[in-house]
A and B are shown apart, each in its own frame.
Chain A
Amino acid sequence: MKRSDSGILIINHGNFEKDFLGTIADSIVQEYHLPVSVKESHTDLSEYFDPMRRQYNGNQLMMELDSLSAPDGIKKMALYRVDLFNPILTYIFGQASLNGDIGVASMHRLRNEQYGMKKDDDLLLERFQKVVIHELGHMFGLVHCHVPPCVMRSSTYVEDIDQKDLHLCPKCRQELESG
């Protein structure tokens, strides 16, 4: 983490409820010790929709996010309900620029119903928190970690997300704090 990092801006693209966002913001504050603010967005996402893939283009959303003005030192994290992809992957839970200021996270594939299982709102919130904290980790310069419970461990399936904790391991924590 750099001295110039002054806060995190959550951009709500998914009409998420206030309490839901508040819980996510709390977990970010607890992990990164930076102030978190929330901004509502009413951007029309249809222009990012790819009819062939029936998903939304995560790369283009990142570019849109990059063009959004924000004070220096603020990390912008956009949250979505829609299914995201990038040109090389069939889907993404989220993505962020390493050591950069922008990141996106989607709730779509975190839902139990997506896999034919019973709806579980608590589990969904926990998974989303983990994805957001993971992507923010990349924005603070952290790469994937091989420590199994570390939130920075790479997750390609939703089960992988469930296996890890909501927190950084001591090694990643040290790396984050040493800047």
Chain B
Amino acid sequence: MPRKISIMIVDDEESVRDSLYNWFIEDGYEVECAENAKQALSILESKNMDIILADIKMPGMDGLEMHRRIRSLNKDSVVIIMTAFAAVDTAVQALKDGAYDYITKPFDPDDLSHLIRNASSQISLKEENEALRNKLISLENVEDLIGRSDAMIKVLKEVEQVAQSSSPVIITGESGTGKELIARAIHSNSKRKYSPLISVHCGALTESLLESELFGHEKGAFTGAMYNRKGRFEMADGGTIFLDEIATISPKMQIELLRVLETKIFIRVGGNKEITSDFRVICATNKNLKQMVEDGHFREDLYYRLNVVNIKIPPLRDRTDDIPMLVDHFIKKYCTSMSRNLMSIDKSALKRLEQYDFPGNVRELENMIERAIVVGNDKEIRLKDLPFDKAMSSNSFKSLEDLEKQYILQVLNKYDWNISKSAKVIKVDRVTLYNKIKKYKLQSPKK
């Protein structure tokens, strides 16, 4: 149900206020009245009005001046100027100042109805636009962060909570768990979402390069510094800087980073001018930073400065419930990007994925699905399309029998359930293989 549109009438004549009040209240609007501009501005301080119908001539501040003040308050109200005398210059001035329309008293009832209806439509469209934009952003996030397991829901709740503040965040988790995605989700749900998210992979850069990357440099600061260059902290002004693999930075950089985090002021390499930047810092690591502090490899003061909020992302093996959903997501993602028909995954392949311990976490799963789509038959991902081989570690076997069962199943799948071939590979006779299939209740996926 659409919400009630609110209208404020600003006119020094009581009879005008009363008549308009009655007209709008009968039309189901929420109505406020003010007898002068001062009163109207005071009402606007405490509440928003969708439409303001203001007389141009009022004692004290006139309607045009009031309109300018309303605009300076950053209010989104639609302002309609009323006057008892039509004058082109004031009408032009009102419209130049951004008034929605201009109407001469007395109004034709139909003109007034149309005017208010059109203004209401504009307000509704604007709100709808805003709502759709927000929906789009949240959809983007939902698409990136897949998971309905309890562990992942906990992470998503934490993301929602921390997004609203500007506190530093440390994201910890094994390699491939999606730490950068979490950083993106925090950024795009925060007030900083319209400013950039700048990512720096600290582990990929040497100390001097990292310094230049983070703080920028002046022309001639070092060999090859041909131009002035903005650093990542400067680029992240108003937004977020994401420092991945924070545990890898040198002790010298740890000191410099601590200073910047405390003051938000820094100097470019080779420069002498202080630069201020308003950024939020999010770090990620797959190391145990606390242990590194205890071992003396990471500064304690920097650790506490960064570790205001800590989000731990569970490894994929601890949230196997999410695997089917992740598989679906990656199938859609890669089938779309490769312009292939949407594929499915057969039960045995999915089951095998659910049993696998994924040392490379979600990244490994994603790569597996991408590969399977490339080598697959364009209809479904089969077990044989997945890169499971002896070299791949898996500790998901519960017993020797389980190991035997999985091995037999793997061989059978590999040879399309050709019993003679499979028996030969396993080095048992056909009868033994049949007995094993019966014992383990194995079934061909084609049945």
Contacts and interface: CB of A to CB of B under 8 A. Distances in A.
Query: Are A and B interaction partners?
Result: yes
Interface of A: 53, 59, 85-92, 95, 97-98, 138, 143-144, 154, 156-157
5 contacts: A59-B19, A86-B106, A98-B25, A138-B26, A144-B27
B108 interface: yes
A154 B16 CA distance: 20
B20 interface: yes
Contacts, number: 56
B15 A95 contact: no
Contacts of B16: 87-88
A89 B108 CA distance: 6
A87 B105 contact: yes
A138 B26 CA distance: 7
Task: List 5 tightest A-B contacts by C-beta distance, closest first.
Answer: A156-B110, A156-B109, A143-B28, A86-B19, A87-B15
A48 to B, nearest CB: 13
Contacts of A157: 110
Contact of A154 (B19, B22, B27, B106): B27
Interface residues of B, number: 20
A8 B23 CA distance: 23
A92 B109 contact: yes
A34 to B, nearest CB: 21
Interface string B1-35: 00000000000010110111011011110000000
Nearest to A91: B109
Nearest to B27: A144
Given A86-B106, A144-B26, 14 more contacts: A59-B15, A85-B106, A87-B15, A88-B16, A88-B107, A89-B108, A90-B107, A90-B108, A91-B109, A98-B22, A144-B27, A154-B27, A156-B109, A156-B110
Nearest to A60: B15
B106 A87 contact: yes
Contacts of A89: 19, 23, 106-109, 112
Contacts of A86: 15, 19, 106
Contacts of B28: 143-144
Interface of B: 13, 15-16, 18-20, 22-23, 25-28, 105-110, 112-113
A143 B26 contact: yes
B107 A87 contact: no
Contact of A143 (B18, B20, B27, B107): B27
A97 B22 contact: yes
A53 B28 CA distance: 29
Of B105, B109, B112, the most chain A CB neighbours within 10 A belong to B109
A53 B106 CA distance: 10
A89 B110 CA distance: 9
Given A59-B19, A156-B110, A87 B13 contact: yes
Contacts of A144: 26-28
A66 to B, nearest CB: 12
A85 B19 CA distance: 10
B369 to A, nearest CB: 51
Nearest to A57: B15
Nearest to A85: B106
A95 B18 CA distance: 12
A148 B400 CA distance: 77
Contacts of B22: 95, 97-98
Contacts of B25: 98, 143
Contact of A90 (B15, B27, B109): B109
Nearest to A134: B26
Interface centre among A85, A92, A138, A143 (most CB of B within 10 A): A143
A79 to B, nearest CB: 19
Contacts of B110: 156-157
A154 B108 CA distance: 14
A93 B82 CA distance: 23
A104 to B, nearest CB: 12
A98 B19 contact: no
A117 to B, nearest CB: 19
Contact of B19 (A87, A91, A156): A87
Contacts of B113: 154, 156
Nearest to A143: B28
B27 A59 contact: no
Contact of A88 (B20, B26, B27): B20
B203 to A, nearest CB: 63
Nearest to B16: A87
